[in-house]
Amino acid sequence: MIRVVLPYHLRNLAQVSAEVTLEVAPPVTQRTVLDALEARYPVLRGTVRDTQTQQRRRFVRFFACEEDLSLDSPDELLPDAVVAGVEPFFVIGAMAGGA
């Protein structure tokens, strides 16, 4: 099972209180994890990545195993610890602006 930690507003939208666990068939990548996330919670479509281009929204970042994976290819394999469910995959709302 893949563990995904969502930011506050997306947890509210998805109506989940803690981290989400997802079944993701190999290969486990940003793309396949986000595909599974959006399939489970359709309300999140478009909130993490653009629905047309599939590109990460500019104020959203991805972290795992204390590494910033935001600029990695969406098809790059995620770390083994994420695949094994030892470490979560973090979706973070970037600290941008203060309004």
Query: Quick check: helix, strand or coil at residue 22?
Result: strand
Q: x-or-dash pattern for other proteins, window 9-38, by CB under 8 A?
A: xx--x-------------------------
Distance in Å, CB of 48 to other proteins, minimum: 8
Can residue 39 be called a binding residue for other proteins (CB under 8 A)? no
Chain-centre distance for alpha carbon 14: 13
Helices (H), the chain: 8-14, 30-40, 80-83
Can residue 46 be called a binding residue for other proteins (CB under 8 A)? yes
**CA 19, 27, 37, 44 torsion-angle sign:** positive
List residues binding other proteins (CB under 8 A): 7-10, 13, 43, 45-48, 50-52, 57, 59-60, 93-94, 96-97, 99
